[in-house]
Structure 1
Amino acid sequence: MRASVDSNRCQGHTLCAMIAPAAFELDDLDGRAAPVSEVVSIEQQRLVREAARSCPERAIHLADDPDTAADAPHTPDGGDHGGR
């Protein structure tokens, strides 16, 4: 899975970093988030999905990584819900 944060939408609510602190870092000046790494480790995927669902601005976007998609856990409906 790959994660990105739309810096134009992120308002620095910091929920993502509270939910998945190993996956998101916050800017020291404005608190806006950025992924620590574009590629999300298997161990962090559940928390990153939760962070994306919890973002009030819907600024976190998730995409399947073809190299790890076979190993990644899937939601029951097959969607990641990060882009809504």
Structure 2
Amino acid sequence: MRVEVDIPKCVASGQCTLLAPDVFDQQDEDGMVILLEENPPAEQHEAVRESATVCPAAAIRLLE
């Protein structure tokens, strides 16, 4: 799995960081997403998929 984020689309809801904190973080100044792991390990895939599903801005793209 490869993860891409569209930072300009991000609305800083933080759902991704709550669901997959080893893969996503947020910038301190504006809460925008930071991608920590572009190719997360298999044990993170379920949480990353859920993050992409619940992202209100659809800013997370997964390439399987």
Structure 1-normalised TM-score?
A: 0.73
Structure 2-normalised TM-score?
A: 0.94
What stretches of structure 2 of length at least 5 have no aligned partner? Answer: none
Query: May I ask how many residue pairs the two structures share in their alignment?
Result: 64
What stretches of structure 1 of length at least 5 have no aligned partner? Answer: 65-84
In the alignment, the residues of structure 1 paired with residue 13 and residue 59 of structure 2 have an alpha-carbon distance, to the nearest angstrom, of 11
**Identity percentage of aligned residues:** 38
In the alignment, the residues of structure 2 paired with residue 30 and residue 19 of structure 1 have an alpha-carbon distance, to the nearest angstrom, of 19
Deviating beyond 3 angstroms after TM superposition, the runs of 4 or more aligned structure 1 residues are: none
Q: Provide the residue aligned with 1:26 in structure 2.
A: 26
Q: Which is higher, the Rg of structure 1 or of structure 2?
A: 1
1:1-84 matches, within 5 Å, as: 1-64=1-64
Letter in 2 for 1:20: A
Contact 1:3 1:61 in 2 (8 A): yes
Contact 2:17 2:24 in 1 (8 A): yes
What RMSD over aligned residues (CA atoms) do the two structures have, in Å? 0.8
Higher helix share: 2
Render the CA deviation track for 1:24-72: whole Å, top value 9, x for unaligned. Answer: 01111111112211111111000000000000000000002xxxxxxxx
Contact 2:23 2:38 in 1 (8 A): no
